Structure 1
């Protein structure tokens, strides 16, 4: 089976990189490697096993070893906790060589943990009635996260969807006057979940209302960004400004809200951490971790992030009879351009850097221009084309000596020359490259910007900078900027107040393989950017990256719009055989730009209000293959397990995926606005729970081929253009044909690690009429169950091991369950109890022969049978 083969390959790779295996095998495979040794308490410069050094010292020594190395240069991390106050930085000078990377790996059999958290001790109980404990931390300590014994604690919050609030011009009013007694109201945050967005704003004040009650005034700048004037530049940056902060889902971060076990409040100014322990937690011995660093690894090439500047930038000098047009609504950057119809007119732009690009428009009434750099003609370009295309990189100059240069573009032909913007390349294009991280755990980060500025959401973890109102993203614990051949294999990123791993700023040929990214406040793994759609230079494109064989679960634990895997504009990205699950919004989101790349006819058919916002992107050749995406849409709406957006310049493939367990507001295969050139085939859709198996809702979705899919629901929607659509083969009662079963058997990364199999584990097969329910908040394993009301319906798990236990819920509406192990009846158990109890182990067996076994549970009586999961030995 593919699972076994993949497991062997991962094991071989891990052994090769020193994650596991005996010392002799490791020495043999790295006979020519240079190895440096580090430890949490390392010192000096020897960097040996007996005298390890610090991580920074080893990095500097590795830098010197690379030029003369005959093999890899290895930095081997001994086990233990490495507490970082800032990111471990790697630059171009820290790169390896093609085929021989600089490898940062765990020592054999050991677990190095890089954390940005401080350990908190010394708790005393200060409020017996509410069971509140307090510990001192340095005054000024800022954090939005806390983890106790490896479990995320929530910032204290009020009840969900509180009643009695009305919107005012400056925030909210309630007749309840108790809010005016809250201390430090400027630390309080109002949170709103609406549609596909989560919005957050700090309060400015809480004061008595003119006629009583309480007036909650929201920070004015955040209120403007999230309510009064939501950013809405439209294509290619977003599709719509709505929804807005027009209500309260909950209030957060007030001392007066404390009292719920597992919640905390940080008095930043006073230097006090307050916490209400969960049952069984002893704060005298508990591991309490308060993240204070925002980033753990920063591997950065040059230049950094590139974004276009508008044609009105002060450095642009227009000579001749130029005009200026704003509000054209034709897709221009900032909806404006400079233009001339006179040959000989010129635009000059003086900049410091190594290159520059000029954005223009192509159309049939535009013509040629000569390009000069520092007074020397370097090329002639043409803006003539059969259709209007906005924001085209008409001029692209790279490779200049770093310094001050002047670009001059002179109109020489055609009716018009338009100038729409400039992108300055400040430094040489040089990647940080050939670096590997293996077997390392990254944990304990926080992102404090929303505390002061709020969270101004666009979609899927892409936000608006609250000051510039330009696109931004949640920062990641592990960031790669302009990387090439940067590899993460067998790593773990967990318990972060940020995103997990970000392959940013045109990173290329880099991989996340066999890794686990879980419990992140933001996105699990991010690839690419949202503002480089216009690129024509291959060196300035995100391309060739892979996320494979990895587990990405529980993203968006603070920012609910975040997704498991996010891909912006990219070329040749592969997302293969990952397990992505338990997401508050979509599982995988790939693409950007909405209908930007769809032509004007299709935009008109969609009924868009503007004449046409039409340009091009370099995205395409994407491969979404063999993933298991499940238990999605736990908090927001209008997404799905895999969500595509915007146009592709090259054909892309969507195949072999298992998409299951929609919680709410799903479209199971969701090719959204502008999605094009997708070949979507041989996917299995199950437990859609009333959702469409396919949604192509508008004419700007075009030229997709959808065929040979299987679904347990027949419902779909096709309003796309030039769609080749074969309806899915509809399967009932879990009677999946052999071809669909083969897809299920090979989807995901293989058997997941751990001593439990959740109810949505691919090893579990459901026969009969079953549904799933997620985000129940009742204490289920991973917060969800499968359930049936049909007597005779069964669930079967095939596993390898020596024992198994069946987890279910007991309640007064549940009844008898038949148990069969390896084809033999093991009798009947009952789930009938007076009160609801979750995660109940009603049947278990141990001492089995180590090998494959099959357990079946069958509903015999009662109203419901629930499957919550299985414990495995």
Structure 2
């Protein structure tokens, strides 16, 4: 970087976009700084120089997203840097401050919003004192359980999922009674959220029929492989009578906002922000024309209050909530760096490096309290050449408390994208998967190759909401992909699943090594079906049901499972298609800390060996220091040397840096306690699930 050729521009909350952009006369917006740089570049005497946009402390309410085009690029030696002033923590908000509440006779806060009265402005999220408020819902805890679901297909379409259909959801009498207080003029705005397997359906209601206990909704046809059905769990939201618990809010059709305050909240000391902008930053190059946005850096900035507008069609079930947009959308870009930033209090995904993006980084960034997922890479389609997304580094970030609006979202999603480094991130408090890699089901061509997933700390994932999920989830042919040195624990699910590492349909050519996985529901490792995967030198401990699973046996080698240590105190060692699978399984240690029972897919260890497995393996104590207290360091080399296990330092996983950064990565004690309670309740109420 040429440090002797710098152009400084300043932004201040007290600035004005007609100013010159100097320290004495600062600008007010990012867009004005961008435009000023464009004008400077147009000067015939302009010489290449680094632009530093220095942003003073304060809150900036954005009137429009920042749009960067190829003309807004820097160079490799002279990038354009948008950064916080030293010691400052500027916040860019896509929201609107709502003030002037009054207290009504019910103790509710209420405010008539002119824009909602005259322009029908509506918002689907609300933030109170930096926390996500809850849209009025029923029930407040738990779910309403579906009795029966029927479907009438209006337009079949060409796929297995009908283009248009109507579904009737029947409830039990006592459950339907909670909906009686919905006003007739509210019905079209009432929504239900349904949680089924790995999917999440969000729909508006077309009609209520009290006589038949029926709710009618319409949209796409249900997926035959994962429909709504009897026993499904739903929640209803967005009607006035459901506003009955502190922390809930509701905006009626007359433009009046209601909020039921928490006991500690006062009108004088409460900040209420409604999100407005549906995107905060768009970086839009054109890779097909070799016209990229390049060499732009963001440092020390916070981005908050991005709105996700619920479409009139709702949100059809979609794995990983991949249909959402992101607050920061990037396409056709190279050398984009996001460092020491924050993205929070948004309704969708945080950051998406889409088609045609490469050679970029996200470092030391705090992504939390998000409606969707954290960081998404690549595309749904296998785009080759210039439009392929590759070589993105996601390093040393905290990505937590996601899926708050769309629970199927994941911490980090890698679609058709290759050669990415996903390292040293802390991913916690999601309802589905921590890291998902690959986007084909089976053996069709995939471009998710050579991805490195290492030294990540992934924990408190799944809860008891969705199923068929894992800390690390893979799909399709992924030759060269390595999953190593990750620390994974506290992974649970509603029904089946809740694995540490999950090689799903067609996962092939992946190495899983040096990972510590403990306190899962259904196993440290599961392979549905795949080819030539290697699982070696891992510690898999204390799954509740099975320690390892495989689902489908094929006529080729599915995986190699060697030099692993498996420790448990309940459940089976192995469950699934082990009697028929083609796999190399040997040089492992198995140890039941609770007794002498070893159930290898309903075989004794002796009979298991007769199948050709574990000829050189042992049922011996690996001699960990204190595994029940998550100390998996060794007291002795005696046992692990028998299988040529190589100890690894699992404490290196997760974020690194100063003490405050590491402390920030720790989930609150209340989240940890609530997770444990949810797991305990799920196990007690549904002991046979899985």
Mark yes or no: TM-score above 0.5: yes
SS in 2 for 1:594: coil
Match of 1:134 among 110, 113, 127: 110
Superposition deviation, residue 172 in structure 1: 2.6
Asked if 1:33 corresponds to 2:17, the answer is no
Does the aligned pair in 2 maintain the 1:123–1:284 contact within 8 Å? Answer: no
Matches within 5 A, 1:737-748: 737=633, 742-748=649-655
Deviations 1:17-54 (A, max 9, x none): xxxxxxxxxxxx94432111112332224101111013
Does the aligned pair in 1 maintain the 2:149–2:228 contact within 8 Å? Answer: no
- Rounded to whole Å, the distance in 1 between the matches of 2:491 and 2:485 is 18
SS in 2 for 1:256: helix
Matches within 5 A, 1:119-158: 119-128=97-106, 131-137=107-113, 138-139=115-116, 140-158=120-138
Find the structure with the greater CA-based Rg. Answer: 1
* Structure 2 counterpart of 1:461: 321
Superposition deviation, residue 497 in structure 1: 0.8
SS in 2 for 1:185: helix
- Rounded to whole Å, the distance in 2 between the matches of 1:556 and 1:656 is 26
| Cα distance, 1:492–1:167 mapped onto 2, change above 3 Å | same
Asked if 1:298 corresponds to 2:303, the answer is no
Asked if 1:161 corresponds to 2:139, the answer is no
Matches within 5 A, 1:335-484: 428-450=289-311, 452-462=312-322, 473-484=323-334
Structure 2-normalised TM-score? 0.77
* Structure 2 counterpart of 1:191: 193
Matches within 5 A, 1:241-640: 241-244=225-228, 247-267=232-252, 269-302=253-286, 428-450=289-311, 452-462=312-322, 473-531=323-381, 533=382, 535-537=383-385, 539-595=386-442, 598=443, 615-634=444-463, 635-640=465-470
Superposition deviation, residue 278 in structure 1: 1.3
- Rounded to whole Å, the distance in 2 between the matches of 1:71 and 1:505 is 29
* Structure 2 counterpart of 1:866: none
- Rounded to whole Å, the distance in 2 between the matches of 1:755 and 1:488 is 19
* Structure 1 counterpart of 2:206: 204
Does the aligned pair in 2 maintain the 1:577–1:626 contact within 8 Å? Answer: yes
Asked if 1:658 corresponds to 2:504, the answer is no
Asked if 1:726 corresponds to 2:562, the answer is yes
* Structure 1 counterpart of 2:65: 87
* Structure 1 counterpart of 2:513: 681
Superposition deviation, residue 293 in structure 1: 1.2
Asked if 1:59 corresponds to 2:34, the answer is yes
| Cα distance, 1:164–1:591 mapped onto 2, change above 3 Å | closer
Superposition deviation, residue 475 in structure 1: 1.0
SS in 1 for 2:337: strand
- Rounded to whole Å, the distance in 1 between the matches of 2:98 and 2:631 is 53
| Cα distance, 1:632–1:750 mapped onto 2, change above 3 Å | farther
Does the aligned pair in 2 maintain the 1:577–1:749 contact within 8 Å? Answer: yes
SS in 2 for 1:488: strand
Deviations 1:605-631 (A, max 9, x none): xxxxxxxxxx42332111001100111
- Rounded to whole Å, the distance in 2 between the matches of 1:438 and 1:114 is 13
- Rounded to whole Å, the distance in 2 between the matches of 1:47 and 1:485 is 26
Structure 1-normalised TM-score? 0.61
- Rounded to whole Å, the distance in 1 between the matches of 2:653 and 2:486 is 9
RMSD (Å) for aligned C-alpha atoms: 2.7
- Rounded to whole Å, the distance in 2 between the matches of 1:98 and 1:694 is 43
Bigger mean CA deviation after superposition, 38-47 or 281-290: 38-47
Gaps spanning 5+ residues in structure 2: where? 152-166, 568-626, 635-645, 681-690
Asked if 1:110 corresponds to 2:88, the answer is yes
Does the aligned pair in 1 maintain the 2:541–2:547 contact within 8 Å? Answer: no
| Cα distance, 1:787–1:289 mapped onto 2, change above 3 Å | closer
| Cα distance, 1:453–1:444 mapped onto 2, change above 3 Å | same
- Rounded to whole Å, the distance in 1 between the matches of 2:178 and 2:522 is 42
Does the aligned pair in 1 maintain the 2:366–2:399 contact within 8 Å? Answer: yes
* Structure 1 counterpart of 2:504: 672
- Rounded to whole Å, the distance in 2 between the matches of 1:179 and 1:37 is 54
Does the aligned pair in 2 maintain the 1:117–1:289 contact within 8 Å? Answer: yes
- Rounded to whole Å, the distance in 2 between the matches of 1:253 and 1:662 is 31
- Rounded to whole Å, the distance in 2 between the matches of 1:457 and 1:446 is 20
| Cα distance, 1:752–1:655 mapped onto 2, change above 3 Å | farther
| Cα distance, 1:136–1:708 mapped onto 2, change above 3 Å | same
Superposition deviation, residue 788 in structure 1: 14
* Structure 2 counterpart of 1:692: 523
SS in 1 for 2:35: helix
Superposition deviation, residue 785 in structure 1: 5.0
- Rounded to whole Å, the distance in 2 between the matches of 1:521 and 1:550 is 18
Match of 1:42 among 3, 12, 15: 15
Does the aligned pair in 1 maintain the 2:194–2:235 contact within 8 Å? Answer: yes
